[in-house]
Amino acid sequence: MENNNEKTEILNLRKELHQHNHSYYVLNQPTISDYEFDQKMHHLEELEARHPEMADPNSPTQRVGSDLNQQFAQVAHKYPMLSLANTYNEQDVTDFYQRVKDGLEGEDFEIVAEMKYDGLSISLTYIDGKLTQAVTRGDGVRGDDVTNNVRTIRSIPLQLQEGSGYPHEFEIRGEILMPWTSFERLNQEREQREEPLFANPRNAASGTLKSQNSAVVAERGLDAYLYYLLLPNTVEKTETKPVEKSPSMQLDLFGDMMNTQPVQQETDSPTDDAGENEVMHTHFGSLQQARQWGFKISQGMKLCHSLQDVLDFIEYWDTERKNLPVATDGIVLKVNSLQQQRHLGYTAKSPRWAIAYKFKAERACTRLNEVTYQVGRTGAITPVANMNPVQLAGTVVKRASLHNADIIAQLDLHIGDMVYVEKGGEIIPKVVGVDVQQRTADLQPVKFIVTCPECGTPLVRYEGEAAHYCPNDTGCPPQIKGRIEHFISRKAMNIESLGPETVDDFYQRGLVNDIADLYSLTAAQVSNNNPNRAVSARNAVTAIRNSVNIPFERVVFAIGIRFVGETTAKLIARKFRTMDALETATKEQLLEVDGVGEVIADSVLQYFANEKNRATLARLKEAGLQMSLSSEELEGMTTKLEGMSIVISGVFARHSRDEYKAMIEKNGGKNVGSISAKTTFVLAGENMGPAKLEKAQKLGVRIIDEDEFLRMLE
Ligand code: IVH
């Protein structure tokens, strides 16, 4: 009995949380506090853990993503994802308007003007109100199936608003974007970790969506706006192999819509008569409908009745778009009537009924005065252009990254040159060119430095790397401070009460020169005997002392071996289990770790070959840091699956996929994303993908179910 109650509760909670997600992420009007939301989510997680048989990839709990490596299956689009013809000025827009007018032979028409979002396009399929597939544009004919990653995007409904009259099956297209705020936060974090920055939110969104790890996607705060609805029923009637046909075969999209609606027949519903309504025969109307179903529909859409309306819209948004939370790079104009769209049809590449107007990239010209050089934690040198201040897209720009020596050479930069600066995605300024006409004979080419600007050590350039490095890692101040900042950072030792300023202060006062020095700091030293700082100093010392409990795998990350990121550190820690074993690891052993190639293996060897690093580790060990996996972590670790390469596929009843992944790793096996001749076996649950099944059979790879797998581990 209790069981049934819990199952009902799961279903009710899911429904409720879907609604709260919609209020929060789509409508921007939350109706409960974050705290209450978290409580409910937590409760649902508990209930779902007790009822694995109720697992559902569309449950709101699944938005957190999974650590599993994904490999993306390629999927053919039902209808090709076309691009739009671009226009750049008023005349082009006027010409488009006239072409439409001529094409419609004097019929009245309306144009829908909407934002052109600068992200990456996505096609979403819904069946019975549930998100079933999300595919990137790819080459327009086939794209990557990124469904698992897309499920983590909060503004994309996993379950549509019940009773809102959605059709049985449909596809909707739109743009996935990284809002400016998420983009800035991400780049700040990357800067701290000395990872390459994303040039603009589009690249960041695209990099994120293609991430192999949906948990990463979940953290990155992506958003989505939808701008094009396609309904399939009539499509199926007209086309058997739609992808190969000309796009001009398109489609009475809304003809049969009402027949396909699942529920919802009450007479007073706002969407009831939609199928018969004018509204459902228009692009504008279809998107209003989609909004009712729960989608986030593009902002600032306008129904234009004249060319002047269109031009006014463009002029207004040319400046107003800067206040939007996401990047836009133009305006899209679409003929509103679907019937008129069909009449106008398509060229080989794009619809004749729509066009994109691109905003001008903002660019400024100013004088390059000097190139200075920054030294990062790993010793990487970044050249920076220092210029006369110039106004660009709303801010004053006077510095811009030049990335590396190759870029400087490509631009053939001379000191005193008049350079063009653009804001890549309008936030990070970059030097895009030189006005050579204005160069006078006396100007000298920029000469990349040969010694470190901070410590004078000759720079080196590693094979295959664009950057120059200062190799004096134990004597160069920004490298020393950078290493300490990395060591205390959240994903490493997480010593929250210290920050870059305190590290700088400790370093200036000669208190810390090395990460191990942190553990001998006293409260009196930290406060510099200032009674006003006594409390915060005690807290800092306590936080440092408490960090000795941080698990071994994070210590491996924290010590800052070049190129060893968080994930690699985890894998290395699990393979070698103790710092001593890692210290004596051979290159061959290191190369056995998933994701470790020549560069990382060499870097680990170099780190341990350095006597100073070994001395630091000895002091950290003395301070009590975790230098091996804990007995808890070691418990249950076996070599039963050693040397085995295992693919997980399908939905499981007894454990989650993450749990199976952890079991594989704990027992010495390797979880891999795709089936190959090297795969030892596939651990298959319900609904294993047909492509995987076929591949496994073709290659003669064994398929085992979860019971058999669990028996193997007994
Ligand atoms: S409509 C057949 N509407 O621009 C027309 N596209 O070159 C389908 N885009 O690949 C596209 N905002 O990624 C449309 N409001 C909008 C858009 C939009 C951005 C992107 C889309 C497409 C590209 C067109």
**pLDDT tens-digit readout, 601-657:** 999 999 999 999 999 999 999 999 999 998 877 777 888 888 888 999 888 888 888
Cβ–ligand 1 distance for 117 under 6 Å, the answer: yes
- Report the separation in Å between the CA atom of 424 and the middle of ligand 1, taken as the mean of its atom positions: 20
Above 70 in pLDDT, residue 261? no
Cβ–ligand 1 distance for 75 under 6 Å, the answer: no
369-375 mean pLDDT? 96
212-218 mean pLDDT? 83
Query: Which amino acid, 260?
Result: T
- Report the separation in Å between the CA atom of 284 and the middle of ligand 1, taken as the mean of its atom positions: 15
427 — pLDDT class (breaks 50, 70, 90): low
E strands, 505-547, where? Answer: none
Cβ–ligand 1 distance for 332 under 6 Å, the answer: yes
- Report the separation in Å between the CA atom of 119 and the middle of ligand 1, taken as the mean of its atom positions: 10
At residue 234, the pLDDT reads: 35
At residue 237, the pLDDT reads: 30
- Does 116 qualify as catalytic in the annotation? yes
At residue 473, the pLDDT reads: 85
Q: Which of 15, 40, 116, 695 is catalytic?
A: 116
Above 60 in pLDDT, residue 141? yes
- Report the separation in Å between the CA atom of 118 and the middle of ligand 1, taken as the mean of its atom positions: 9
> What span, in angstroms and rounded, lies between the C-alpha atoms of 231 and 519?
64
| Cβ-proximal residues to 501 (8 Å cutoff; 6+ apart), any chain | none
Above 70 in pLDDT, residue 174? yes
347-352 mean pLDDT? 86
571 — pLDDT class (breaks 50, 70, 90): confident
- Report the separation in Å between the CA atom of 140 and the middle of ligand 1, taken as the mean of its atom positions: 12
Give per-residue pLDDT as tens, 320-343: 988 899 999 899 999 999 999 999
40-49, 267-276, 478-487: least confident range:
267-276
Above 80 in pLDDT, residue 425? no
> What span, in angstroms and rounded, lies between the C-alpha atoms of 585 and 578?
11
DSSP string, 152-204: T-TTS-SBPPTTS---SEEEEEEEEE--HHHHHHHHHHHHHTTPPPPSSHHHH
Cβ–ligand 1 distance for 84 under 6 Å, the answer: yes
DSSP string, 346-409: B-SSSBTTEEEEEPPPPEEEEEEEEEEEEE-TT-BEEEEEEEEEEEETTEEEEEEE--SHHHHH
At residue 525, the pLDDT reads: 94
Question: What atom of ligand 1 comes closest to residue 354's alpha carbon?
Answer: 5
Radius of gyration of the chain (CA): 29
> What span, in angstroms and rounded, lies between the C-alpha atoms of 559 and 567?
14
Question: What atom of ligand 1 comes closest to residue 175's alpha carbon?
Answer: 13
At residue 1, the pLDDT reads: 53
Pick the residue whose CA is nearest to atom 2 on ligand 1. Answer: 82
